[in-house]
Amino acid sequence: MGIINLLAGIARHTVKRVRLALLHRKCWQQRSGAVLRMQGLEMAVTDGANFYMQYKDEFVNRIYHFDAVRPDPLIIDGGSNMGMSILQFKKVHPGARVLAFEPDPELFKILSGNLSRNNITDVSLVNAGLAAEEGETSFLADGKAGGQIAEQGSVRVRMVRLSSYLDQPVDFLKLNIEGEELAVLTEAAQAGKLRQIRELVLEYHGWAGQRQLLGDLLNLLDREGYRYLVHDFDAETCFASKPPFRLGPDTTWFCLVYAKRNDLLAEGK
């Protein structure tokens, strides 16, 4: 049985690599505004590379997968971009209720259009970003997936607190908000509402030349009663963390942090 399982695993890995190679060839060179179709989905894209990376991570590698405990789980999606994560959530959990945040006004238009063309319902869209403080701020848009709060940004966007939306239990929180994760979760914890969240996945951004905050983030989750796992994507999404290591002053890297409340783990829920 060991050999059979080994061969089956090799076969699955090979099929996956072939699928991704074909997807890469189909999508990578697509330009902004192109409409791509994949497994019954139809999406206007920011660009082909962004579509490929998101589809690979979210539909193939399932980085935001979770097992729902009710037919209509409540999901908060921070940093919805062009809507890939929402389409994946609704494919796995058709009855899910999703609250989605996207600050970039141009990406918000693409997001709204993609949900409409795929007949996605029970999704509330908020044209704002998540931050520690409410108000307006400068935003440096890149038109893809790397827009972030920055003083040199030419776009003004609205920011809101996550805690303002944690008035009921949340089944799953996804955060991909370009470095604001720690500030957002800290504010929610200080408001006494972080534990409304059952489980979460966030993307940590290790920006070159900026403070290292991963330790602070993990300590916060530990203090708030969460057990966590850390994963550094695959080599396509994050090559910098793969051996042999070459850490330089310009090295930027990413990782995923998955966390679930300890009390739920203890109860087997």
Q: What is the pLDDT of residue 10?
A: 72
Q: What is the pLDDT of residue 89?
A: 98
Q: What is the pLDDT of residue 1?
A: 63
Going by C-beta distance under 8 Å and a sequence separation of 6 or more, which residues neighbour residue 75?
Answer: 89, 93, 96, 97, 98, 99, 170, 171, 172, 173, 174
d(CA 131, CA 54): 23
Q: What domains are defined for the chain?
A: 67-266 (3.40.50.150)
pTM over 0.85: yes
Q: What is the pLDDT of residue 7?
A: 62
Q: What is the pLDDT of residue 152?
A: 73
Per-residue pLDDT of the chain (269 residues), as tens digits, is 677 776 666 777 777 777 788 888 888 898 888 999 888 889 999 999 999 999 999 999 999 999 999 999 999 999 999 999 999 999 999 999 999 999 999 999 999 999 999 999 999 999 999 999 999 988 877 777 777 777 777 788 999 999 999 999 999 999 999 889 999 999 999 999 999 999 999 999 999 989 999 999 999 999 999 999 999 999 999 999 999 999 999 999 999 999 999 999 998 88
Q: What is the pLDDT of residue 147?
A: 75
Residue 94 has φ and ψ, to the nearest 5°, of -55, -30
Amino acid at position 211, single letter: R
